[in-house]
Amino acid sequence: MERVKVAVVGAGPAGIAVGVEAKVAGIEPLVILEKAPHICDTIERLYRPGKRVDAIYRGIEVEPIGICRFETESKESFLERMKTWVERYQLNIHLNSEVNYIKRVGDLYEVTVNAEPKFLAEFVIIAIGIFGQPKKPDYPIPKEVKDRIFFEPPSFCPASGKILVVGGGDTAAEVACFLCQRCEVYLSYRRPQFFRINPVNLKILEEKVAQGRIKLLMGTDIEKLEDDNNRVKVFYKDGRVDSYDFIFYCLGGSTPKGFLKYIGVEFDLEDNPKLNEFYETSLPKLFLAGDIAVQRGTIQLAFNTAHIIIKRIKDILSEEAHDQK
Among candidate residues 42, 67, 71, 69, the one with its CA nearest the CA of residue 56: 71
- Distance (Å, whole) CA 212 – CA 209: 5
**143-249 is a CATH 3.40.50.2300 domain:** no
Compute the distance between CA of residue 283 and CA of residue 50 in angstroms, rounded to an integer: 40
* Bridge partners (DSSP) listed for residue 166: 188, 249
Q: Provide DSSP, 23-77.
A: HHHT---EEEE-SSSSSSHHHHHHSPTT-EE-SSBTTB-----SS----SEEHHH
- Model confidence over 164-176: pLDDT tens digits? 999 998 889 989 9
Q: How far is it, in rounded angstroms, from Cα 237 to Cα 221?
A: 6
* Amino acid 277: pLDDT: 97
- What percent of the chain lies above the pLDDT cut of 70? 97
Return the axis-axis angle of helices 75-88 and 13-25, rounded to nearest 10°: 30
Q: At 164, which helix (H) or strand (E)?
A: strand 162-166
**HSE-CB for 106 with a 13 A CA cutoff:** 4
Q: Please state the domain extents for the chain.
A: 2-132+253-324, 143-249
116-120, 132-136, 200-204: range with highest mean pLDDT: 116-120
Q: Identical fold at 2-132+253-324 and 143-249? A: yes
- The type of residue at 254 is S
Model confidence at 317: pLDDT above 80? yes
Q: Check: CB of residue 5 under 8 Å from CB of residue 23.
A: no
Cα–Cα distance between 281 and 274 in angstroms, integer? 6
In 168-325, the DSSP E strands lie at 184-189, 214-218, 222-227, 232-236, 241-244, 246-249, 286-288
Phi, psi angles (nearest 5°) of residue 244: -135, 155
**pLDDT tens sequence across 75-87:** 999 999 999 999 9
Task: For residue 246, list its beta bridge partners.
Answer: 163
Give the pLDDT of residue 200. 80
Give tens-digit pLDDT for 6-56.
Answer: 999 999 999 999 999 999 999 999 999 999 999 999 899 888 899 889 887
Estimate the share of the chain in helix, then strand, then coil, as percent rounded to the nearest 5: 30, 25, 45
Q: Could you read off the pLDDT of 212-243 as tens digits, one per residue?
A: 999 999 999 999 999 999 999 999 999 999 99
Q: Which residue has the higher pLDDT, 95 or 198?
A: 95
In whole angstroms, what is the distance from residue 19 CA to residue 91 CA?
Answer: 6
pLDDT given for residue 272 in this prediction: 86
Say what the pTM is: 0.76
Q: Is 212 left (phi over 0), alpha (psi -120 to 50) or beta?
A: left
Beta-bridge partners for 31:
7
Q: Is there a contact between 82 and 97 (Cβ–Cβ < 8 Å)?
A: no
Q: Are 141 and 225 in contact (CB under 8 A)?
A: yes
**Cα gap 148→133, rounded to integer Å:** 19
Into which CATH architecture does domain 2-132+253-324 fall?
A: 3-Layer(bba) Sandwich (3.50)
At 67-122, the pLDDT tens digits run 999 999 999 999 999 999 999 999 999 999 999 899 999 999 999 998 899 999 99
